[in-house]
Every structure is written in structure tokens, then in C-alpha cells.
Amino acid sequence: MKANEKYLDLDFKIAPDIPEYIVSDERKLRQILLNLISNALKFTEEGSITVDVKLAEDNRVNQKLLVSLLKKLNYPADIASDGVAVLRALEKQNYDLIFMDIEMPEMDGISATKTIYDTIEKSKIPLIVAMTAHEDEEKRQICRDAGMKDYITKPIKLNELERVFNQYFND
């Protein structure tokens, strides 16, 4: 379904701090983003659709990798390099999805997620997906206990991103 078939505007916002290039699996990220947008179009009868993603990641290479794929799809993703920056961003803007690294300086992703659940109105809490290099069940449980709804391991594979979008943003 296309936005113009329903007379809808599809708006994208690209933050000025988004790097121009990253390396990733273009095909899989494209599929994830198209599924998310398609789902938004299905359930919107009028107006415009804006899908906002926050990438909480302190590693510049990982930031560039994920953002480059999003940029090729004209899909917005704001970057925060630590949990404090995520919380500041949420004071100014609502997000639909946060990919949250669990090990960041100043405030880690676990603490940031707990703070989000403690301070933000429940209806405005975005889907939070943990990103980490750790694959153990204990770490997964810590993420779930903090309020993260899903968990993907680094290096991030596009089929995992696709699974997340299909699971949470499709019928």
C-alpha cells in the first residue's frame, strides 16, 4: 500500500548529527523499514505518518553502520551515545523504537531503560530493544527485567532487525 493511495504524507526527519555512511546489510534493513512503514500505512486513515527511531550506541563504527542503512532508505534515526542523552532526547520527542546498547558510558542502557519506565507516561514509552555483544541468558533476563522487550546481539545482523520489526510492528 502506498501513502499516496490513501492521500497520506509520509514524513522523514533526519537529524543533523546522523553520519553520512555506515556499513550493513542493506537488503535486510530495507525489509525491516518497509514492513514498519507498511504497517503504519495500514492503520492510518488520514494525516501523515512519521516513524521515529532512536539509536543508543556509543561506538562510532556501529552508529555509522546502522545509520547508513537507514539513510539509504530515507528513514530517520537519531543517535545518542549514552543513556543520559537518550533521556534528554525523550524529554523533547517521542520515539517509536529505541535500539539500546546496554553498555555505554555515563549511563548504561539498563539504567536508561529503568529510568524511562520510571519517568515517562506509560502510553509514550517506546519499544526498547537491547543491543549487546553478550549472548548469555542471565544478561537477557537483566534486559527483560529492566523493561526491554527484545534483545539482539552484536554484530547486528539485518535478519535480526527484520525479526524485531515483523514481530512488533506487523499484524
Which residues of the chain form beta strands (DSSP E)? Answer: 9-10, 48-49, 53-56, 77-80, 97-101, 127-132, 150-153
How is residue 36 written as a grid cell? 514498519
Per-residue CA distances from 133 to 20, 115, 145, 155 (Å): 25, 22, 18, 7
Give pLDDT tens digits for 78-118.
899 999 999 999 999 889 889 999 999 999 999 999 999 99
| CATH hierarchy code of domain 10-169 | 3.40.50.2300
pLDDT of residue 159: 73
pLDDT of residue 49: 47
pLDDT of residue 108: 97
Out of 7-16, 32-41, 124-133, the most confident range is: 124-133
DSSP helix, strand, coil percent of the chain (3-state; round to 5): 45, 15, 35
- 15 vs 61, more confident: 61
Sketch the domain layout of the chain as residue ranges.
Answer: 10-169
Give pLDDT tens digits for 114-138.
999 999 999 889 999 999 988 889 9
- 44 vs 124, more confident: 124
CA dist., res. 145 & res. 163, Å (int): 21
Contact of 159 with 136, CB cutoff 8 Å: no
pTM of the model: 0.69
